[in-house]
Amino acid sequence: MLVEDRIKAFSRLGEYFHAAVDEAYSKSYHIKLNDKIVNELKTLITSAENFNPWFVPQFMEFNFRTWAELLTKENLENWISKYDISSFYFRYDKNIAVIMAGNVPLVGFHDLLSVLMSSNNIIIKQSSKDFLIEKIVQILCQIEPKFKEKIKFEDEIISNFDAIIATGSNNSKRYFDYYFSKYPSIIRSNRNSIAVLNGEESEEDLEHLADDIFLYFGLGCRNVSKIFVPQNYDITKLFPYFEKYKNLFSNHFKYLNNYDYFKSIFLVNREKFFDNGFIMLKESEELSSPIPIVYFQYYNDVDVVKQIVNQNVNDIQVVVSNNIIENSISFGSSQKPALDSYADNINTLEFLFSLKNL
């Protein structure tokens, strides 16, 4: 199976993602799409929350649209072209075990894409919280049946693999490190993302900051959980920009359970916090905030923030700012990673291609 075939299959999948969230795209597309596949994806968007209440249609649609923009022929070719792929055929295949998280929809899809694009075989242990991967694999195999012999799902103990990619909590990482120490591996744990404001942000920036915080209910490692603001910054000025998520969050029972729980704790302990009815802002030096809280911290000198970032580089996934911090990303882009925006900043493709010498 040549790399051109793999690119064609995944770019075709991207077209189906696009058609599922854009009726006009499906009707105007110059090559007829399989209506059955389009309808299957539309059903996933509307019914996913029946299996996982956090996977609401609004965020499912955003997820599909994001992947549709990434899975183009041009993007895939540019991504893979950095590696010597001319000699990768079945005879070089390695069996790659992938233990997937399930905190946001299709969070393990990038690993699936990376393993298959590098011509390896994948053994998937999917999270019980994310049934979507199996559904997408079924559709991918309809598009390109040759993938069927390269993909396996495992519900029990994973065996007969050459390398492993595992994503989980900090506790899971210790377990993974112990049990998989003899294998080539990428082991990922909890990370958080931060935003750094200087008070000169536009209204559009702050609107986009709301997306960085609230998409996927803040459950992803790329969600902003901590905001650094200048001394004397009025943190409550952010609340109007959060309002677009009010209806969704105020009517989501799981989210509200968390909100009520933490609010009562703060009230009982007489802790200071700012509340707009569905999200609480609390001053803290910690990076990781529980749902539905966003921590904030004042600073007098941005160099202090840079030191904090450097000291916590292994715990921070992305930094959002208007170029205040080196290598930061723009507001509103935290949940729109490029194909080479690797989790934990570990280059998955580079790791997979290095296995040819095993």
Does residue 287 register a pLDDT over 90? yes
Domain with CATH 3.40.605.10 in the chain: 3-190
- Residues 182-209 as b or e (16 or more Cβ within 10 Å = b): eebbbbbbbbbbbbbbbeebeeebbbbb
Pick from 3-17, 27-41, 115-129, 329-343: least confident = 27-41
Q: Which amino acid is at 94?
A: K
pTM of the model: 0.94
Average pLDDT on 298-310 reads: 97
Task: Express each pLDDT in 40-97 by its tens digit.
Answer: 999 999 999 999 999 999 999 999 999 999 999 999 999 999 887 655 544 558 999 9
Helices marked H in 48-169: 57-70, 73-80, 109-117, 132-143
Does residue 27 register a pLDDT over 90? no
Distance CA 141, CA 123 (A): 15
Q: How many angstroms separate the Cα of 296 from the Cα of each of 172, 262, 303, 330, 357?
A: 28, 16, 17, 19, 47
Between these two residues, 88 and 337, which has the higher pLDDT value? 337
Task: Express each pLDDT in 244-267 by its tens digit.
Answer: 999 999 999 999 999 999 999 999
Instruction: Specify whether the backbone of 356 is left (phi greater than 0), alpha (psi in -120 to 50) or beta.
Output: alpha
pLDDT band at 218 (very low <50, low <70, confident <90, very high): very high
CATH number for 3-190 (one of 3.40.50.1360, 3.40.50.720, 3.40.228.10, 3.40.605.10): it is 3.40.605.10
Domain with CATH 3.40.309.10 in the chain: 192-320
The count of other CB atoms within 10 Å of the CB of residue 270 is 6
Distance CA 279, CA 198 (A): 22
Q: How high is the pLDDT of residue 172?
A: 86
Does residue 30 register a pLDDT over 60? no
pLDDT band at 128 (very low <50, low <70, confident <90, very high): confident
Q: What percent of the chain has pLDDT over 70?
A: 96
The string of DSSP codes covering 315-333 is: TEEEEESSSSSTT-B-TT-
What CATH fold (topology level) applies to the domain 192-320? Aldehyde Dehydrogenase; Chain A, domain 2 (3.40.309)
Does residue 159 register a pLDDT over 70? yes
Q: How high is the pLDDT of residue 156?
A: 87
